[in-house]
Chains A and B, each alone.
Chain A
Amino acid sequence: MRRSFDAEGWRERFLILWTIMTILFLLLPLSVIVIMSFSAGQFLTMPKELSLRWYQEVLTNGQWRQAALNSLSIALLAVSIALPAGLGLALANHYAPPRWRAFVRSAAAGPMIVPVIVLAIALFFVLAKLGVVGTRFGVAIGHGLLVMPFVFVSVSTALEYFDDQLIEAAESLGASRSYAWRTVLLPFVVPAIVVGAALAFVNSFDEAVIAIFVGQGGTLTIPSLMWRSINLEITPSIAAVASMVTGIGILIQGAAFLWLWRRLRVSVKLTPSGAT
């Protein structure tokens, strides 16, 4: 008995150590970049004194501002492509006969499985035929395809918990199928749609490979401009941009999850008072 108790203690200590090491491993490079971004010097090294010089530099630089604008509009466009596509596929997956479901699922998850570089090259040829290579629209199509699985996975997971009898109930009460979907199914999947859209937005916002392959000088997004700048010159401005992009990503995803969490907490908190 005593031996097993000891083993338990060591296991626990090891687990804590392992967790700390994992967090350090994941966050250390990021924190190095963030610290470097506050450098006052010319080069991308650990700063001797701190300043906001490079943030000011980036925020006033026309090229970076244009890239931010491109990134934002491409991400919004990509989300507006991914949202109906992912939602439609999730519904198809939910309502398809069982033997078709595997087909729908693998089609929808495809962009997640195919290597991005392969997808990017394939997209280049298709989009070239359509004449949209080098436009923001072209990049947005590529991103829409790439980030659609986030919407699909999030919504189809939610739908697994949906009670289909609710649609029958609505129909027995006189609702048409589309009215029942709008008033019963949609409210149920809205949280999943919001979370899926937030993930899709962030993943388009910091995507580089497709942006580089399909894009052009005029459509440079933040990540593709970072890639280009890193090849030319290395200044702390890269670190400042990286820190800001990371911050925005954390803010958007954090806001989505916070909203979801509060919704869940509201619905859970009310339960005990009413059960009596």
Chain B
Amino acid sequence: MSNASKDCGSPPAIQISRLKKCYGAVEVLRGLDLVIPEGSYTTFLGPSGSGKTTLLRIIAGFASVSEGTVSISGVDVTDRAARARDVGMVFQNYALFPHLTARENVEYPLKVRRLPREERRRRALEYLERVHLAEWADRYPRELSGGQQQRVALARSLVYGPKLLLLDEPLSALDKHLRGQMQDFLKELQRDLGITFVHVTHDQSEALALSSLVVIMRDGRLEQVGSPEQIYLEPNSRFVAGFIGNSNIVCCSVTARNGRLATVKLGDGTEVGVPIPAGVTERLGVGEKSLLLLRPEKAETGYRIDTSVVAMSGPVLSTTFMGTHYQVVFSTRHGEITAHLNNDYAPGQSVDVAWRAGNLIVLPAG
């Protein structure tokens, strides 16, 4: 193993092996193995209680591990104090020092490192410039807006040049408009600096927009690790499919398999050939109950009925205008189905919608 990792050049930013964390009798993290590559923007995504924040705090050094190891840049830091890990951390509530100005806050880590006063001031201002706050340098945190405080916190945790920045739900306290701006800003900053960002969030669109690697967590386990595209297009469980994007899930069974293609049969007898996602090939046997995932945004109207589509029709229950499309909910033999369509429908009106086989995702049930 050690030889293999040497061959790959520099070690990964973070390597976690067989990590367990218990609080009393409660297992919060149940044996994790995870490699986060150098220079990636990784998000930990999961519902509250999934252990994502605990994992981040363990990487930061604020929580101890019960079992397993944590390595940062190839160095085992499992038993190292937070201050000896040289990791930057942005807290959910920013945690700026209230008695220090923005500049003094940013100077703090440099003061700890005993840099001379002039050097400290110069670097602090340089980083405040970087987060577009140079003219706010002498304000106290309470005089700054939430977004500005956030950027001071960013400057403070980057000014001493850590190779790894941890962000604990940094955007959750901002309003929607500001959140979008901050997302762009974070992404750009990460690209400019070229260091590894690890970002905890419970917002799936945030995770898809920001990351090069998404780690989906559930009940203290890793549910799926992959690029946003992989997570979106090839989810390997119903949980991931349901968590990422809005989905219609319909019961079906596999009737035949041919390599990466499966033929599935729906409750009404419709048969369709669909591709099998990479992560679930072993768990999808012939004759087994499975699930078919229909993304609302992939729905189409005006199709020809043949074996390459799955058709759904029924009376409309409700329509909501979303700006770019109408969200149409209608009732079918498979239950309520949601589709994003370009036309408005009156409630009760019948609608015919289809999904191309290539846009369907099949998953093992359970």
Chain A positions 167-191 with a Cβ under 8 Å from a chain B Cβ: 168-176, 179, 183-184, 187-188
Interface residues of B in 143-178 (CB under 8 A from A): 143-145, 156-157, 160
Instruction: Name which of A76-84, A96-104, A266-274 contacts chain B.
Output: A266-274
A168 touches B142 (CB 8 A): no
When A172-B157, A174-B112 are in contact, do A165 and B82 touch as well, CB less than 8 Å? Answer: no
A274 contacts B93, C-beta separation under 8 Å: no
Question: What mask results when residues 107 to 132 of chain B are scored 1 for a CB within 8 Å of chain A, else 0?
Answer: 01100110000000000000000000
Q: Inside 8 A of B145's CB, which chain A residues have their CB?
A: 275
Residue of B nearest to A173 (CB): B109
* Given A169-B91, A171-B81, A173-B112, also A270-B99 (CB < 8 A): no
Q: Is the CB of A270 within 8 A of B140?
A: yes
Is there contact, CB below 8 Å, between B83 and A175?
A: yes
With A166-B97, A168-B82, A173-B156 as contacts: A274 and B139 at CB distance below 8 Å: yes
Counting CB contacts under 8 A, is B86 at the interface?
yes
Cα distance A175–B88 when bound, in Å? 12
Whether B143 contacts A169 by the Cβ 8 Å rule is no
Q: Is B89 an interface residue (CB 8 A)?
A: yes
A163 interfacial by beta-carbon distance below 8 Å: yes
Task: Indicate whether A172 sits within 8 Å of B87 (C-beta atoms), given known contacts A165-B93, A179-B112.
Answer: yes
Establish whether residues A184 and B62, one from each chain, have CB atoms under 8 Å apart when the complex forms: no
Verify B93–A176 contact, CB threshold 8 A.
Answer: no
Cβ contact of B93, chosen from A163, A173, A188, cutoff 8 A: A163
Write the B88-107 contact mask toward A (1 if CB under 8 angstroms, else 0): 11010101111100000000
Q: Say yes or no: A169 contacts B83, CB within 8 Å.
A: no
Contact (Cβ within 8 A) B97 A172: no
Q: Which of A165, A166, A174 has the most CB of B within 10 A?
A: A174
Judging by beta carbons under 8 Å apart, are B83 and A172 in contact?
yes
Docked complex Cα distance between A270 and B143 (Å): 7
B60 in the interface (beta carbon within 8 A): yes
Residues of A within 8 A of B157 (CB): 172-173
Contact across chains for A274 and B142 when beta carbons are under 8 A apart: yes
Return the contact of B60 from the options A172, A176, A187 (Cβ within 8 A).
A172
The interface size of chain A toward B, counting residues with CB under 8 Å, comes to 23
Verify B109–A174 contact, CB threshold 8 A.
yes
From B91, B108, B140, A274 is in contact (CB under 8 Å) with: B140
What's the least CB distance linking A262 to chain B, in Å? 15
Flag if A274 contacts B143 (CB, 8 Å). yes
Complex Cα distance A173/B113, Å? 9
Query: Chain B 62-90 against A: per-residue CB contact (8 Å), 1 yes, 0 no?
Result: 10000000000000000001110011110
The answer on a CB contact under 8 Å between A168 and B143 is: no
With A166-B95, A168-B82, A184-B97 known as contacts, the answer to whether A175 contacts B112 (CB < 8 A) is: yes
Identify B160's interface contact among A170, A174, A267, CB under 8 A: A174
Residues of B within 8 A of A179 (CB): 112
Determine which residue in B60, B62, B112, B113 has the highest number of CB atoms from chain A within 10 A of its CB, and name it.
B112
- Specify the chain B residue showing the minimal Cβ separation from A190: B99
A102 CB, nearest partner CB in chain B, Å: 21
Say whether, besides A270-B142, A275-B145, A172 and B88 are in contact (CB < 8 Å): yes
B172 to chain A, nearest CB (A): 15
Residues of chain B within 8 A (CB-CB) of A274 are 139-140, 142-144
> Which A residues lie within 8 Å of B60 (CB)?
172
Q: Which of B87, B96, B142, B145 has the most CB of A within 10 A?
A: B142
Q: Are B89 and A172 in contact (CB under 8 A)?
A: yes
Closest chain B residue, CB of each to CB of A268: B142
Bound Cα distance A168, B168 (Å): 13
| Contact present for A168 and B108 (CB under 8 Å) | no
| CB-defined contacts of B61 to chain A, threshold 8 Å | 171-172
The smallest beta-carbon distance between A263 and chain B, in angstroms, is 10
Structural contact, B142 and A267, CB atoms closer than 8 A: yes
Chain A residues with Cβ under 8 A from B139's Cβ? 274
Report B-chain residues with C-beta under 8 Å of the C-beta of A169: 89, 91, 95-97
B85 to chain A minimum Cβ distance, whole angstroms, is: 8
Q: How far is the CB of B138 from chain A (nearest CB, A)?
A: 10
Asked if A172 contacts B82 (CB within 8 A), the reply is yes
Q: With A170-B108, A173-B160, A174-B160 as known contacts, state yes or no: A163 contacts B95, CB within 8 Å.
A: yes
Q: How far is the CB of B317 from chain A (nearest CB, A)?
A: 46
A186 to nearest B CB, angstroms? 10
The residue on A at minimum CB distance from B143 is A274
- Among B62, B82, B157, the most chain A Cβ lie within 10 Å of the Cβ of B82
- B143 near A165 with CB under 8 A, answer no
A165 B95 Cβ-Cβ under 8 A = yes
A176 CA to B109 CA, complexed, in Å: 11
Q: Establish whether residues B95 and A271, one from each chain, have CB atoms under 8 Å apart when the complex forms.
A: no
B95 contacts across to A, CB distance below 8 A: 163, 165-166, 168-169
Taking CB atoms, residues of chain A closer than 8 Å to B112 are 170, 173-175, 179
In order of increasing CB-CB distance, the 9 nearest A-B pairs are A274-B143, A173-B109, A169-B95, A172-B89, A174-B112, A187-B99, A171-B82, A165-B95, A171-B83
9 extra A-B contacts, CB within 8 A, seeds A171-B62, A174-B83, A187-B99: A166-B95, A171-B82, A171-B83, A172-B61, A172-B87, A172-B157, A173-B112, A174-B160, A270-B142
Identify 8 residue pairs between A and B in the complex whose beta-carbon atoms are under 8 Å apart, listed by A's number: A163-B95, A168-B89, A172-B87, A175-B112, A188-B98, A267-B142, A274-B140, A274-B144
B interface list, Cβ under 8 A from A: 60-62, 81-83, 86-89, 91, 93, 95-99, 108-109, 112-113, 139-140, 142-145, 156-157, 160
List the interface of chain A (C-beta within 8 A of B).
Answer: 163, 165-166, 168-176, 179, 183-184, 187-188, 267, 270-271, 273-275
